[in-house]
Structure 1
Amino acid sequence: MPDILATIPLSAIRVFEAAARLKSFTRAAEELGITQAAVSWQVKALERRLDQALFLRRPREVALTASGERLSRAATEAMSILRTALADLSETGEGVLAITSLTTFANQWLAPRIGAFQLQHPQIAVRLDTSSRIVDLARENIDVALRSGSGDWPGLESHYLFPNIHTPVCTPAMRERLGGLAQPEALLNAPLIGVPEEWEVWFAAAGVGSQRQGAATPRLTGDSQTLEVASAIGGQGVALACPFFFAADIAAGRLVAPFEIYAHYDDGYWLAYPADRARAPKIKAFRDWLLACVADDPAIAPYSRRGS
């Protein structure tokens, strides 16, 4: 019995996978750089070869049949594996390591250290993208992600780095202006910086959430923790911060953290990458280096021991 794969061009599978994933012949044509008619012809040829319909044609869209759904899952997985293998063969550990990271993680923790990685691996250039959006590592030209969350993302291998915890920080002058901040209640009507919902979590952790009725709400919110803490350093108020992201500012006296009370947000920070790329040399090199950096960071160790 002849091998059916030998009679079906890979180009037809590639066209089908794009059309099935995008649910549109037109968008598949745009992605592949061919005409919509060419997409339609390739799909029809594949349907004739398999002797069954893969799509339901509708006036403004297409939908997969049951057979199409089954083939789509297999085609998407196969194309992903093929792309990964080709990328790894062409790179052989060289080239560019593309990292997506949350802004504060990148600015406050990774950026001061990434030079050491490049010195250890001069053949690997680094491209760092900072964004709050969740990047699809299977579809976009990104190798690894530094994320906060549960660490349970389908298709990705994840490594826990450290807890996502916040505590109030301010300048020494602001602390004195607020009477020394001996008790958490002193912050109930203080000039706060940050997301109101995050402050509510901290006040609850401090045991004064029930006293928030009528209390002041944050008067300034930034789009990153870095900007909010910069405002606190400028004397604008009290911000919530991850203490080991700003360990240098605290050690230098630019900031103080008045309370050893930490609010926990999700399950922590993680390194994540496609599971089928775990053995790519550049990803393995970065993973090993990053985990060693976390283990050696004295600012993180005390908080990790708190069981967070």
Structure 2
Amino acid sequence: MSTLLTKSEQGIIVFHFFKSLKYPIRLTLSLLLIIVGLAMQFFMFRLFPGLLLVFAGNLLLLVKGYDNRLKLGRYDHNAQWKNISREQVDKLEQMHKKIKSWDKSLLDITNTLGFWMFVIIVIIITYLFVNGNNTYNKSYYILAFDIIALILPHWFTGVRKILTLPELIMKINTFKSMLKLFQGKMASCQVDFFVQLIEGEKRKEKKKNIPLPNDIKLKITPKYPPENFLGIYAQISINDVSGTKYPYFYTVFVAKPEYKLHQRTSFYKPTAGLIKKYTTQKEVDVLIIRQFTTRTSGYHTSVKAINKIMTDTLTVLDKLIK
């Protein structure tokens, strides 16, 4: 990763030391220490004390990881789900892509690219030490130690602490694919994303826990919903089968008991391959439309299955609001 960060990166990169130090000040101070240290070595033709300044300047640039926690302003710990905009959903997806590419850095020994770069640097350092020993040229030693001070710490302290969200991103991609197909058919409805937040680690500089995105769902609400009808939720479970993750898409109708959801939807006969299930949860009536499953099949909802679920869902909704 480049030492020079964009404005967007400056807000999400977390450093090991002096975490609250503003990036422009951090970069200026770091470069100043390194330049002064190198200048002292050049003019004094000595390893110390210049090496200490070079090392100190480099410590300020040691990256700990990405802070990809969702910023939603004030967080209510009693609220399990939070409504977020499409733009925030896009930012989550973009952040995930950035983190995946950032994790494949030349300065991270945990990936193949970083490992081979480490090997090359070790060879160069070994060459400098051997040459310095053979020629009694102190400049070889100084250069070798400068390389160690400037580069190697980024491998050993910079093993990337990142939070990737593959299941969350899989759900987002599934929802986006569904919306492309059904956006027109839901033109008369309000479609909202809701994200589930869990407490992350406490940030020392802020003295509080920052929420992390853990799950996401869609809420579909008709423009003029019937009284006591609370809407439809499109949700996705991730099934792990032999190490491979599969999205399982389903929809949930929710209404207060006064609405008599079960009676009003008794007309509904699921399309082949789908089933309906009635339950009562936390003082609300629920209708679930999902794909039929067995012990060995049905754990993955294909595009075709999602289309059937959404078609049935919108058909039922259309009859409820007429």
| TM over 0.5, shorter chain | no
With normalisation by structure 1, the TM-score equals 0.26
Provide TM-score, normalisation by structure 2: 0.25
Higher share in strand: 2
